[in-house]
Chains A and B, each alone.
Chain A
Amino acid sequence: EVQLVESGGGLVQPGGSLRLSCAASGFTFSSYHMNWVRQAPGKGLEWVSHIDMSSGDIHYADSVKGRFTISRDNAKNLLYLQMNSLRDEDTAVYYCARLTRLWWEDYWGQGTLVTVSS
């Protein structure tokens, strides 16, 4: 069974940092591209970042570019999102998602809540 489990969320002050993790199981993690998607409370979905299976192709939303860094450890089946210089507007549930061969998100984690507040 495919499983994606996010962790690392919590309360952080503006300007602070947080690293999210996504533990993958039930599939060959190293063979799949991955995305982070977030959802602010009561709002819609926002794509955040993409990493291909070999970490050779990486993309970010303009809203996080220069502040967030996506990475992965294929040996440990882990996906990461390092978030620096956090702002109030980064408050959201962060989901990791696996991409199909056709580049759509077919499996999602349950999400981890990041709250940026003083």
Chain B
Amino acid sequence: EIVLTQSPATLSLSPGERATLSCRASQTITSFLAWYQQQPGQAPRLLIYDASNRATGIPARFTGSGSGTDFTLTISSLEPEDFAVYYCQQRKSWPRTFGPGTKVDIK
């Protein structure tokens, strides 16, 4: 099973600041990684797929990068609605696995 590790667990930032979230895989997953955002009480929302492609309707301030085992989600300037939990997920091999999540909260 491929294990995904996310860091930091919590990121405390102010609106307008830049957020950098990391996801590391226990073995290479090439570019088979996605990022999801989850607001409290809501279902996850697909942000980035195949490491660097924004999903439909996702603002340009969200950028995904990386390949192999190290990936990054960058939010260039945090908007109030961006404070949420972010998960990475791999689909390189079964079982599909999620990282434990990074909570971005308001400083």
1/0 per residue, CB under 8 A from B, across A86-118: the answer is 000000000100001011111011110000000
Structural contact, A100 and B49, CB atoms closer than 8 A: yes
Whole-angstrom distance between the Cβ of B44 and the nearest chain A Cβ? 6
Give A41-56 interface residues, CB cut-off 8 Å to B: 44-47, 50
Count, chain A residues at interface, CB 8 A: 22
- Closest chain B CB from A34 CB (angstroms): 13
Main secondary structure of the interface of B (DSSP, over half): loop
Please choose the segment from B18-26, B61-69, B70-78, B97-105 that sits at the chain A interface, where 4 or more of its residues have CB less than 8 A away: B97-105
CB of B84 to closest CB in A, whole Å: 13
- Decide if A45 touches B98 in the complex (CB within 8 Å): yes
Q: A45-B36, A47-B97, A59-B95 are in contact. Are A95 and B49 (CB under 8 A)?
A: no
B46/A106 in contact, CB under 8 A: yes
Q: Is the CB of B34 within 8 A of A104?
A: yes
- Inter-chain CA distance A35–B34, complex, in Å, is 15
* Interface: B55 (CB within 8 A): yes
Give the complex CA separation of A105 and B98 in angstroms.
12
Q: Are A45 and B94 in contact (CB under 8 A)?
A: no
Residue of B nearest to A109 (CB): B43
In the complex, what distance in Å separates the CA atom of A50 from the CA atom of B55? 21
Task: Tell me if A105 and B44 are in contact (CB < 8 A).
Answer: yes
Question: B83 at interface (Cβ–Cβ under 8 A)?
Answer: no
Task: Given A46-B98, A47-B96, A110-B43, verify A103-B91 contact (CB < 8 Å).
Answer: yes
- Give A59's nearest chain B residue, CB to CB: B94
CB neighbors of A among B33-90 (8 A): 34, 36, 38, 43-46, 49-50, 55-56, 87, 89
- The answer, yes or no, to whether A62 is at the interface (CB within 8 Å) is yes
Apart from the given pairs A50-B96, A104-B91, A105-B44, 16 other A-B contacts in the complex at a CB distance below 8 Å: A44-B87, A44-B98, A44-B101, A45-B38, A45-B89, A47-B89, A47-B95, A47-B96, A47-B97, A59-B94, A100-B46, A104-B55, A105-B34, A108-B43, A108-B45, A111-B43
Q: Which residues of A contact B (CB under 8 A)?
A: 35, 37, 44-47, 50, 59-62, 95, 100, 102-106, 108-111
